[in-house]
Amino acid sequence: MVLALVPHAGYVYSGRIAGATFARVDVPEHVLVLCPNHTGLGLPRALWSRGAWRTPLGDVEVASELTECLKRHARLDEDERAHVHEHAIEVELPFLQRLAPRVRVAPLCLQRLSLDECLELGAALAEGIRAFGRRVLIVCSTDMSHYIRAEIAAELDRLALDQVEALNPAGLYRVVLDRRISMCGFIPTTVGLAAARALGAERGELVGYGNSGETSGDFGRVVGYAGALVS
């Protein structure tokens, strides 16, 4: 498994899909986690390169050797400010800890990148992972459509997920913009797909799809959630 796409909402809403997706993954010791920047704080390619992140299950060490290798190959910003109030990586960490107690992560928060920049960054991250010489799982943290009717969310999200399954990063980027799909993590997912393809991935698979209405009972204004695997 090269890449896992997972949601990052509250566990009561999206934990079932995230859990089902992670359960299909043999999580290695090193994981590159890509997420969107919901706050607008910090720099566009914000890498947290050392130290540890604390969760209720204990500390998760930052994979400093991996982050140094990625910095040598990709243009990344040393920036912790983008992460301080961002939730989209931290909600994934307990799943990774449960499956690989010694896991180390390279947290990368992305915003405001053009398609060309996404494709360039994905290729550069793949170079860094190859140079690292050990297995690295890429995790893309994203929710899908936000605050629209469930049936419309499903229709729009299917357009985006078709591109994920087809391993088409450019197609994903374009359909999200053209159809105004409010997929918050389309930039990190575009980057992740580009990296996965450069690393030899050939197949995408949707594990599950749902929405917040399944928990809240409100199907008039939902957030969509998806889990997918790329290998």
- Would you state the pLDDT for residue 199? 98
How many CB atoms lie under 10 A from the CB of residue 101? 12
| Exposure of 98 in the CB half-sphere (CA atoms within 13 A) | 11
Q: Which domain holds residue 130?
A: 3-230
User: Among residues of the chain, what percentage have pLDDT more than 70?
Assistant: 100
* DSSP run (H or E) holding 45: strand 45-47
* Mean of pLDDT over the chain: 98
Closest CA to 30 of 61, 8, 58, 5: 61
- pLDDT tens track for 190-228: 999 999 999 999 999 999 999 999 999 999 999 999 999
Beta-carbon count within 10 A of 99 CB: 14
Domain containing 120 — which CATH number?
Answer: 3.40.830.10
Provide the domain count of the chain.
1
Q: How far is CA 4 from the centre of its chain?
A: 7
Q: Is the pLDDT of residue 68 over 90?
A: yes
3-class SS at 59? strand
Q: What pLDDT, in 10s, does the model give residues 151-194?
A: 999 999 999 999 999 999 999 999 999 999 999 999 999 999 99
In the predicted model, what is the mean pLDDT of residues 42-50? 97
Q: Residue 99 pLDDT > 90, yes or no?
A: yes
pLDDT score for 1: 84
Detail the DSSP E strand segments found in 111-195: 136-141, 146-148
User: Do 11 and 91 form a contact (C-beta atoms < 8 A)?
Assistant: yes
